[in-house]
Structure 1
Amino acid sequence: MDDDRKLTVRAVERALDILLCFTRDSDLSLTEIAASISLHKSTVHRLLTTLEDRGFITRNPATEKYRLGIRVWELSTHLPVSENPGTLLLPAMERLRDRLGETVSLYLRDGFERVRIQAVQSNQAIRRVAQIGARLPLTVGASSKVLAAYAPPEVQQELLEGEDWPPAIDRKRYADQLKEVLHAGYATSFEEREPGAAAVAVPVIGRSGEIAAALSLSGPVNRLARETLVEYAGVLKEAAAEMGLMVP
């Protein structure tokens, strides 16, 4: 590969890294983006200017912060429905939200993280707000345990033996929890990741017989006691069974 081509590829990689910064936050400053991808601010500014000219990034003059532009949305609208469970399963998620009154989310596993690809917010005044695109580790939370429990054995082993394992979480206890999830068909979390929040999650098994996503319901602990989470697990299982018929 010649030098000009290397420079072009590097510029593309850096531009993509900038776009990926917005999977964690919706509004970012130049300094925050530069720090996140470990590049000099002058380099990041040049790339941001190009992305802004093409409509992939927009800048708020009042705050000097950047956010994703309309072009990103236009691209997402052309993703085939059959390959986008977040779009395909949205009506069923809305029905589940209306039935139980809490926030409903859908997650996919990406390596050793889970990504929220769809969310339907609770209509209650005090509610669990779920941001689409958020990435969370597989080591904590109801949806994480579901995705890890139904992952291939080699993925589980690599996860459990990883050097980045959080010291506060006991590996053996976590491995035992994954076995419990497979046996019960659901996972719960009670203030595991956030104080005051509780959740229950189940796998959505596609027509192929493999897990297609994790379906979760979350809300404040004063409405989702441990007994309530177990009760709602049965409702989520029913909804997930119907959803599984709609995905490959």
Structure 2
Amino acid sequence: MGDKKLTVRAVERALDILLCFTEESELSLTEIAVKVSLNKSTVHRLLASLEGKGFLRRDPLSDRYRLGLSLWELSSNLVHEDDPAQLFYPDMRKLRDALGETISLYVRDERERIRIQAIESNHPIRRVARIGIRLPLSVGASGKALVAFSDLETQNYILRDPGWPELVDLNRYRQQLERISRDGYATSLEERESGTSAVAAPIFDRHRQLLGVLSVSGPVSRLTEEKMREIAPIVMDAAMRMGRMTLIRQ
């Protein structure tokens, strides 16, 4: 039993190391050790194993690590027609072309949201959307939409989080959820990032379960409150069409 526990723990630590690269493209041994809260000798052994299997590669000049080809080989089998990130991509591109702003697709993972697909605006000044990034549910149009259109049990799970940010007033947030549920979409104006605004609408599957949210974001100079109200019906209509696509394919 002891050996099995050690093996499982080593696997967990190796996965923690890989997850460090969700926000950084390259890291040093010291930076990784700090992120996973392990001593450098332990991290060095795990890095050697991951490098040996091709999950990481080390630049001999800078002595920094990057993701390896094995992850790309695995990801090639992840993409299929039922994957929302691929299924909705053509419609997201059409929406980007129609509105001119950055389009993102978010899903909820526990008490966070993850951007699983994005198509950036063609404008020189645009909202840069990195795929795979994890963001809070407490701020931003997409986060609020994911909570507002979830079932009551899920909402309670999220809102009773002991780690809820102190700067986000929970009562005011609940009021926002009620309005979002009534309107059918959510907006945000410089909530998470200065100079950025967004409007988001829910995507439901054939069982009326929340699949994710479709978001349009851009600089506040173009995506004003008035503009967001104007394009909200377009975003909701696009999200509804995407939901119908799951009906066709299931």
Q: TM-score scaled by structure 1?
A: 0.95
Aligned residue in 2 for 1:17: 16
Q: Distance in 1 between matches of 2:232 and 2:60?
A: 46
Which residue of 2 is the match for residue 109 of structure 1? 108
For 1:142 and 1:61, how far apart are their aligned partners in 2? 43
Alpha-carbon distance between aligned partners in 1 of 2:202 and 2:27, rounded to the nearest angstrom: 34
Whole-Å Cα distance in 1 between the matches of residues 207 and 21 of structure 2? 32
SS of the aligned residue for 1:246 comes to helix
- Shift in Å, 1:83: 4.1
Structure 2 residue matching 1:81: 3-state secondary structure: coil
What does residue range 218-229 of structure 1 map to in structure 2 within 5 Å?
218-229=217-228
Deviation at 1:221, TM superposition (A): 0.7
Asked whether the 8 Å contact 2:79–2:86 carries over to 1, the reply is no
Residue number in structure 2 paired with 1:191: 190
| Equivalent residue, structure 2, for 1:94 | 93
Q: Report how far residue 205 of structure 1 moved.
A: 1.1
Q: Which runs of 5+ in 1 are unaligned?
A: none
Query: For residues 28 and 151 of structure 2, what CA distance do their matches in structure 1 show?
Result: 39
Q: How far has the Cα of 1:239 moved from its partner?
A: 0.9
Aligned residue for 2:245, secondary structure, equals coil
Q: How far off is 1:80 after superposition?
A: 5.0
User: Aligned partners of 1:23, 1:152: CA distance in 2, in Å?
Assistant: 29
- 2:217 aligned counterpart, secondary structure: strand
How far does the alpha carbon of each residue in 1:223-243 deviate from its partner, in whole angstroms, 9 at most, with x for none?
A: 111011111111111111111
Supply the AA of the counterpart residue of 2:50. L
Q: How many Å separate the matches in 2 of 1:107 and 1:65?
A: 31
Does structure 1 residue 231 correspond to structure 2 residue 230?
yes
- Mapped partners of 1:182, 1:82: distance in 2: 30
Tell me the alpha carbon deviations over residues 84-140 of structure 1, each in whole angstroms, 9 at most, x when there is no partner: 211111111111111111111100100010000011111111111111110011100
Task: Tell me the C-alpha RMSD between the 2 structures.
Answer: 1.4
- TM-score normalised to the size of structure 2? 0.94
Please state how far the C-alpha of 1:82 moved relative to its aligned partner: 4.2
Q: Tell me the residue number matched to 2:42.
A: 43
What displacement does 1:176 show?
A: 0.9
Give the match for residue 176 of structure 2: 177
List aligned pairs for 1:141-160, cutoff 5 A: 141-160=140-159
Shift of 1:199: 0.5
- Give runs of ≥4 in structure 1 deviating > 4 Å: none
Mapped to 1, the partners of 2:145 and 2:103 lie a distance apart of 15
Find the aligned partners of 1:62 and 1:230 in 2 and give their Cα distance. Answer: 52
Structure 1, 153-162 or 44-53: larger mean CA deviation = 153-162
The CA distance in 1 between the partners of 2:230 and 2:189, in whole Å, is 14
Q: Secondary structure at the match of 1:231?
A: helix
Q: What corresponds to 2:63 in structure 1?
A: 64
For the structure 1 residues 49 and 83, does the alpha-carbon distance in structure 2 shift closer, same or farther, using more than 3 Å as the test?
farther
Q: Mean alpha-carbon deviation: is it higher for 187-196 or for 59-68?
A: 59-68
Query: Separation in 2 of the partners of 1:208 and 1:80?
Result: 23
Identity of aligned residues (%): 55
Q: Is the 8 A contact 2:201 2:214 kept in 1?
A: yes
Distance 1:99 1:62 in 2: 45
Count of residues in correspondence between the two structures: 247
Map of 2:205 onto structure 1: 206
Distance 1:98 1:13 in 2: 42
